[in-house]
Amino acid sequence: MSDTEDRKILRQAYDVLRTTDNLLQDVQRGISRLVTVKERFLPDTSESLGREKNSRDRAFRGEDRDNWYDWYNGWIRRTGSRFFEVDSNDYYTFSEGKLDRELENLRVRRKYYEDVSSVVRLTAENISRPFVRRLRVWDLPGEILSKIFEFVESFDERFMDYPWDEGRRDIQNCRLTCRLFCSVSSSMLIRLLLVRCEDSSVSRLEEISRHPIISKGVRAVRVVLHSYNPTLYEHIEEFIHYHIENLAEQVHMFEATRRWEWEKIPEEVALEKLRKAKVVLDSWRRITSSAEKAHEIDSVHRGLVERTHEQYRRLYEEQESMGSHGKFANIVGRAMARMPCARKLDFNDTEFLMMRGDVFNAPGGDICDAIYKEMLKPATGYSAKIHGLEQMPYHVVTEVPVAVRSAGVWLNDIDIKLSFVGGSQQLVTDLEAREKVSAAMQQVKTFSFKCSDSLDERDSDNLNKFLETCLDTPSLKKLKLDLRIDGEAEEWHVDIAGRFIASRPWRNLTDISIFQVSVDLSDLVSFLQSLPPSIECLWITDMHLRSGTWAEALEVLREKSYKIVHITSPRGAECDDLSQEELENVFGKPNHNFSSAEQYIRKLRYMTNNPLQSLKNRVE
């Protein structure tokens, strides 16, 4: 066979492959959609679907519609109706048999197309082999390898908080394969870079930011606001009492839950660890109590405590030196300037990736050594709150963005999580500093702020001023404000958010999530009127309306169009006088569908009357 004929056959084979692959994708999409219907109507059988159990995003990929969620639910209802049968009692029941027969037909077609594709690929490979040299995986272009490693990594910025996922471990293993794989995959090694105000953490930041490959993959820098405490630095007695409380809590939890049983730790090993921890705890208590008689072992633990406290004092002094005169902020700013994709900045005062460890799971089995190492860890915002320690170093929250901008970088995304507002006054600076913070925010598109501590009027005023400064930008597209308090507290924040959300136009803001804020109706109206006509997502939970009525609020909300809208657990105004059943009728979500209030806001054709107004009319 001549070369010309071979090339003609190859061209035809590739055309057949292209057509077959398109048909195969259509069949697979049909299977995925039917599996989605089966999961919806027969959830108990979905475990047996194996590899065909796909998410609806994959099953309906390519359906880019303005009201996708409505279209999806409508499609489910229309398609599901094909599989309903009338039983002997004239009731409609879902026919699993009908759906399974259609699924089986699609699977047969899939097998046919897979066989055709396999045969054609084998033929094309045999014909083309004389024309190409033998290739190996490392002959692939770097761009193709990079795409392969990206698939292996499965990186999703929404889940960047979880650096221990399988994709991250796979990338670590890929780097160990060969120099080529190491070179190509190293840019995916670190996506989120944590840094704290201490020499070792800053040195790691400097090293990574100067790496020619790894630095290119970093997407976000998180400043961890854990800190060594001045009271614990100055007073060894307070230092011991603080750690007595921490260790006593760990001992109690380990013993009360019999954790060794579900962690599969041999009981004799667990009980021995528990005994040693109690020995340390009792010794500490005797050291700090003049009423109790000292034991021989107390002198050993006194010496260990004193040496540990000396190390703690050195770490505190190192922290204070690093944080003085904006040194730490400037280092972070210059490091972000060296990382071309690092345009997200996070702040967290209770970072679980750096939180206090569990002494009972310490490697090596020496629980005493683990206990004293844990004493050298800085306090989180949460522990500072529950132990009544001094304020956290919140001044860096305003210093770092300014330093990043001074280094020539525009930030795109800022996320702040605080569990303790004892240092809220540090967030409020003088006018000149506030102007610098505002200037650093001018290109921010996503801003998220979470505070889980209760606020008094002073704290509320400080946070309002801080948020007003941060949000003084026309570029903002996504805003999340979460002021839900930890625990069961039924407290409402004092005029938080009301003053600044109504103070400016929001021309580009289309994604809004607001949790547990207190506003006046007039401020809510001004805020909604300043938004674009079309909103991507509006999520309001536990909003407390201090003036006006929720019936009026629904009328104002109805003036915009939304792709996604959630209004749950409203408080204040007439909602405080409604029974739980009445609230459920208006704001409840039966079967995870839209509530009556949301249907009214979205202008669905079957909901033309304001449900709160209708409820009021029925009562009257």
Give the whole-angstrom CA distance, residue 331 versus residue 326: 9
> Residue 51's pLDDT band (boundaries 50, 70, 90)?
very low
Compute the average pLDDT of residues 430-440.
88
> Is 577 part of any domain?
yes
Compute the average pLDDT of residues 42-54.
52
Across the chain, mean pLDDT equals: 82
CB 223 within 8 A of CB 332: yes
> Residue 76's pLDDT band (boundaries 50, 70, 90)?
low
Say if pTM beats, i.e. exceeds, 0.85: no
> Is 375 part of any domain?
no
Query: CA angle at residue 615 from 613 to 616, to 5 degrees?
Result: 65
> Is 219 part of any domain?
no
Give the whole-angstrom CA distance, residue 311 versus residue 455: 35
Asked whether the predicted pLDDT for residue 278 surpasses 60, the reply is yes
Last residue of some domain: 117, 132, 147?
A: 132
Between β-strands 544-547 and 534-541, what pairing exists: parallel, antiparallel or unpaired? unpaired
Within this chain, do residues 445 and 580 fall inside the same structural domain, yes or no? Answer: yes
> Residue 307's pLDDT band (boundaries 50, 70, 90)?
very high
Asked whether the predicted pLDDT for residue 259 surpasses 80, the reply is no
Q: Which helix (H) or strand (E) covers residue 336, if one does?
A: helix 327-338
Asked whether the predicted pLDDT for residue 449 surpasses 80, the reply is yes
CB 278 within 8 A of CB 161: no
- Among 8-22, 161-175, 535-549, name the one with the lowest average pLDDT: 161-175
> Is 196 part of any domain?
no
The stretches of 131-266 forming alpha helices (DSSP H) are 142-153, 166-175, 179-185, 199-209, 230-234, 236-256, 259-262
If one counts the domains in the chain, the total is 3
> Is 334 part of any domain?
no
Asked whether the predicted pLDDT for residue 73 surpasses 70, the reply is no
Give the whole-angstrom CA distance, residue 190 versus residue 113: 41
424 residue type, one letter? S
Q: Which of 273, 282, 428, 465 is nearest to 363 (CA)?
A: 273
372-423 pLDDT per residue, tens: 988 999 988 888 888 878 777 888 999 999 999 999 999 999 999 988 776 6
Q: Domain of residue 572: give its range.
A: 441-456+468-620
SS3 content of the chain, % helix, strand, coil (to 5): 60, 10, 30
Q: What is the DSSP string of 30-50?
A: HHHHHHHHHHHH-GGGGGGGG
> Is 391 part of any domain?
no
> Residue 270's pLDDT band (boundaries 50, 70, 90)?
confident
Give the whole-angstrom CA distance, residue 333 versus residue 343: 11
Higher pLDDT, 96 or 85: 96
Phi and psi, residue 475, nearest 5°:
-90, -5
**Residues with Cβ < 8 Å from 84, sequence gap 6 or more?**
92, 93, 94, 95
Asked whether the predicted pLDDT for residue 82 surpasses 70, the reply is no
Higher pLDDT, 308 or 592: 308
> Is 515 part of any domain?
yes
CB 419 within 8 A of CB 486: yes
Q: Which of 356, 394, 361, 363 is nearest to 378 (CA)?
A: 356
Query: Averaging pLDDT over each range in 28-42, 303-317, 378-392, which range is the top one?
Result: 303-317
> Residue 339's pLDDT band (boundaries 50, 70, 90)?
very high
Position 175 scores a pLDDT of 92
207-227 pLDDT per residue, tens: 999 999 999 999 999 999 999
Percent of the chain residues past pLDDT 70, beyond the cut:
81
Percent of the chain residues past pLDDT 90, beyond the cut:
30
**Residues with Cβ < 8 Å from 67, sequence gap 6 or more?**
563
- Among 1-15, 183-197, 521-535, name the one with the lowest average pLDDT: 1-15
Compute the average pLDDT of residues 356-383.
79
Compute the average pLDDT of residues 429-455.
88
Structure tokens at 231: 């009271």
Last residue of some domain: 109, 132, 155?
A: 132
Asked whether the predicted pLDDT for residue 131 surpasses 70, the reply is no
Exposure of 598 by Cβ count < 10 A (0-12 exposed, 13-18 middle, 19+ buried)? Answer: buried
Last residue of some domain: 80, 108, 132?
A: 132
Structure tokens at 280: 């340390």
Q: What is the dihedral of CA 597, 603, 604, 606, to 10 degrees?
A: 80
CB 64 within 8 A of CB 71: no
> Residue 325's pLDDT band (boundaries 50, 70, 90)?
confident
Give the whole-angstrom CA distance, residue 109 versus residue 106: 5
495-506 pLDDT per residue, tens: 555 566 766 788
Asked whether the predicted pLDDT for residue 68 surpasses 50, the reply is no
Position 589 scores a pLDDT of 79
Q: Which of 287, 291, 315, 312 is nearest to 301 (CA)?
A: 287
99-109 pLDDT per residue, tens: 788 888 889 99
> Is 578 part of any domain?
yes
**Residues with Cβ < 8 Å from 468, sequence gap 6 or more?**
499, 500, 503
